[in-house]
Structure 1
C-alpha cells in the first residue's frame, strides 16, 4: 500500500513538472531543529541483568543539516505548485535515534509579491545506512506549512514546520541504550522495545531561484 501511494505521489510530481510551462528551478540549504514527537518506549535487558538508564539525549531534539532542489510550476499569477527533492537529517540526539531521509514535498504555493505561503503533503524515503536504521520504516508520510520572503528576484529565506503522520519505527525495533548502569559502564544488553513516534521538525533555509 505504501509503495503504491509513493508511486502515485512521484507520478503526480513528474507529470506536473513535464507538462507545465514557465517553470523556475532553484536550490536551498539550511538547518532543521528536529525531534521524534510522541516518543514512547519500553526498556528491557535481553539477558535479565541490570538495565541501563535511558540517557536524556535519546529524548532531546537536535539541530542538523538540510539541502535540496525544487521546481516552481506557475498555474496562475498568484498560485503555483512546488515539488522538491530534499536531503534531511532528522531524529533526536541519541545515536540510535538519528535518521537521514530524502524528503519529497509537493507545495501548494500562494505568492504575494515578495512574500509567499505554502503547504502540502510530503513523502520521506529513508536513506540511512547505520546499524540502527533497520529499526525504522522505509517510508514516512508528513505534511508541512511554510512562509518565505524573496530578496530581489532570486534570493529568498523560508521557515517551515513539518509534522509526521505515520509511525516511523518497525514493529520489531530493537535499539540499544547507551546510558551507563550503576558502576558507570555501558551495558549494550539494555534495549528500547515497543517504540512509537513521529518525525517533527522546523526548518530555516536560504535559497536561490533561477
Structure 2
C-alpha cells in the first residue's frame, strides 16, 4: 500500500510539473505562396500570399502544438487559348481557401531551430474557373523548417501538398488498352513567411 501511495505521489508531482510548463501564446502569420497544380502540361507557378492567426501551445522546450487559421491564395498559371486556337497567354487560375491546420513543432536541442508537420483542412471560398468547378474541400499535409527568436518572431519555410484531386477523381484511371488518362491534379504550395507570437501573462 505504501508503494502504491509513493508511486501515485510521484506521478502526481510529474503531471503537475508538466502542466506548469505549458504556455499559450496567440499570434499571427503571413507570407509568400508559390503554388501550382500537379500533372497539368505547360502550367507555371503562381505567386500570391497567405495570412492568418495562430495559437502556439508550448508543452516544454522541445515540443509545441500550433493550431492555425489562414486565408491562403493558391492555384497556378495556365494557358488560355484565343484567336485561331494556336495563340495563348498565361493567366492566373485562382483557388482561394480558408484553412484550418494544426502543426506539431519539434525544437532541435530545445533551441530556436525547429521541424514542423501536420494536417491542413482547406475549405474553398472562391475560384475563377469558368468551364469547370473545382472541389470545395482539400485535405493537405504540411512539412517544413523554421527558426524562432527569443522575442517571438519566427521565420519558416513550408511545403504544403494537397491530397484531394481538385476535380474529384478517385484515382488514376486506365482505358481498355491500359493507357493512363486521368492523373490526379493536386494543390502544391511552397510557403516562405514569418509569424509572431505574444506572451500572455
TM-score by length of 2: 0.68
Contact 2:61 2:111 in 1 (8 A): no
Give the match's secondary structure for 1:127. Answer: strand
- What is the distance in 2 between the residues matched to 1:84 and 1:129? 22
Q: Which residue of the partner structure matches residue 121 of structure 1?
A: 119
Q: Which residue of the partner structure matches residue 3 of structure 1?
A: none
CA shift in 2, pair 1:197/1:64, >3 Å = same
Larger Rg: 2
Computed over aligned residues only, the root mean square deviation of the Cα atoms, in angstroms, reads 2.4
Q: Which residue of the partner structure matches residue 110 of structure 1?
A: 106
Cα displacement (A) at 1:77: 3.0
Give the match's secondary structure for 1:167. Answer: coil
Structure 2: runs of 5 or more not aligned: 1-21, 79-90, 170-181
Q: Deviations over 1:73-102 (max 9, x none)?
A: 123331111110111111112347321011
Once the two structures are superposed, the pairs formed by residues 154-165 of structure 1 within 5 Å of their partners are: 154-165=152-163
Q: Which residue of the partner structure matches residue 178 of structure 2?
A: none
CA shift in 2, pair 1:131/1:35, >3 Å = closer
Q: Residue 69 of structure 1 is aligned with which of 53, 60, 82?
A: 53
Q: Which residue of the partner structure matches residue 40 of structure 2?
A: 39
Contact 2:33 2:192 in 1 (8 A): yes
Q: Which residue of the partner structure matches residue 135 of structure 1?
A: 133
- What is the distance in 2 between the residues matched to 1:160 and 1:119? 9
Structure 1: runs of 5 or more not aligned: 1-20, 41-55, 172-193
1:93 matches 2:93:
no
Q: Residue 166 of structure 1 is aligned with which of 160, 164, 167?
A: 164
TM-score by length of 1: 0.65
- What is the distance in 2 between the residues matched to 1:139 and 1:131? 15
Contact 1:116 1:147 in 2 (8 A): yes
Q: Tell me how many residue pairs correspond in the alignment.
A: 152
| Higher relative contact order (Cα pairs below 8 Å, separated by 6+ residues) | 1
